[in-house]
Amino acid sequence: MELFDLLMRRRSVRNFQDKAVPEEVVAQLLAAANNAPSGGNIQPISIIVVREAENRKRLAGLVGEQPWVKNAPLSMIFCLDFQRVKRWAAMNATEFKGEQALTHFLIAYADVMCAAQTVVILAESLGLGSVYVGSVNGTINDTREAFGIPQFVLPVMVLSLGYPKSIPQGIPKFTPDVIVHYERYQERNDAEVTQAFQAKYGDFGKSGAYLEKAFVETVEADRQGGDGWMEWALEEMQKLEIRNNAQFLFNLRYPAERMVQFNRHLLDSMRKAGFSWDVNPTVEKEV
Ligand SMILES: Cc1cc2nc3c(=O)[nH]c(=O)nc-3n(C[C@H](O)[C@H](O)[C@H](O)COP(=O)(O)O)c2cc1C
């Protein structure tokens, strides 16, 4: 299959066959991840391969009981890892302070995601399906403890993989022109923004049908024995008087205030792992 076709067909898969991923396939995925681009080629990344039933269950619990994490035969915890490079620098009469330098952090985060997306694409080409699970950022402390993740290492993304049992269809996307700007950023007017989202989501319509299309996780979670997620979402939609797609996203699914309040917890967990980006006037002066 042409790579373009493969990329256009790729969907996040949350329903996996009960079939292990062969060892040589896992090895290929990991080799490709290791060969991904990396800023300065520093490779501040570690990948924890999770296959044992007990660990899959534990990981699923840590990411909000998303059933596909338990059911997938293979998950990878992608970690941003400054620990290795810090030790190497120290042993070589120098210092690496990535955990205090936001620029290192941003580049390292990008490195991790380059590696993860390389796995996604290779997996797809090998007949596997995968789904990212970003909610691991809500339980950094517990995930570090559960998987023995040391200081200066942050679990930033989980990727669950396996042979698909079913693949979602009709996932809404913008048309490419919405996200593309030639030569200069071209700010869209309100009508164009409205049109872009309207073309993506269509009419809000019936709530159940909307969830089938725009919140496939709820539907899939219930299919896999979740505890009434769909019912919960429909009730909340009614309670919060959700009238449109934007309200669904930012009043219910990602409530704006709660997202901001979450900063404290997130920053605390990062600090606990040794990361902090406070402005240091002494260092600033030296620079
Ligand atoms: C950064 C990131 C975090 C995500 N986190 C989750 C998650 O926690 N649970 C989940 O089921 N899907 C998660 N996804 C998958 C998205 O829901 C999915 O990519 C989106 O619905 C678009 O569908 P598609 O991947 O089929 O294009 C995540 C995707 C990304 C890129």
pLDDT of residue 161 exceeding 70, the answer is yes
Residue 286 pLDDT class (50, 70, 90 cuts): low
pLDDT of residue 287 exceeding 70, the answer is no
The span from the CA of 36 to the CA of 63, in Å, is: 26
The span from the CA of 131 to the CA of 223, in Å, is: 16
Q: What are phi and psi of 76, to 5 degrees?
A: -125, 130
pLDDT of residue 207 exceeding 70, the answer is no
Residue 205 pLDDT class (50, 70, 90 cuts): confident
Q: Which of 29-33, 208-212, 275-279 has the highest mean pLDDT?
A: 29-33
Q: What is the pLDDT of residues 97-117, one digit of tens each?
A: 999 999 999 999 999 999 999
Average pLDDT value for residue range 55-59: 98
In the chain, the domains with their CATH numbers are: 3-166 (3.40.109.10), 176-259 (no CATH)
pLDDT at 208: 66
Residues paired with residue 15 on neighbouring β-strands, in sequence order: 166
Average pLDDT value for residue range 181-208: 91
Test site for ligand 1: of 11, 132, 169, 253, most ligand atoms within 8 A of the Cβ:
132
Nearest-CA residue for ligand 1 atom 20 is 12
Residue 122 pLDDT class (50, 70, 90 cuts): very high
Pair type for strands 164-166 and 15-16: antiparallel
pLDDT of residue 264 exceeding 90, the answer is yes
pLDDT at 236: 92
Nearest-CA residue for ligand 1 atom 15 is 132
Whole-angstrom CA distances from 89 to 44, 92, 95, 104, 162 are 13, 5, 5, 15, 38
pLDDT of residue 283 exceeding 90, the answer is no
The number of angstroms, rounded, from the C-alpha of 282 to the middle of its chain's C-alpha atoms is 36
Amino acid type, 247: Q
Separation of CA 110 and ligand 1 centre (Å): 17
Lowest mean pLDDT among 55-69, 161-175, 210-224, 261-275: 210-224
The number of angstroms, rounded, from the C-alpha of 95 to the middle of its chain's C-alpha atoms is 30
Residues near ligand 1 (Cβ within 6 A):
11-12, 14, 66, 131-135, 171, 217
Lowest mean pLDDT among 101-105, 139-143, 203-207, 214-218: 203-207
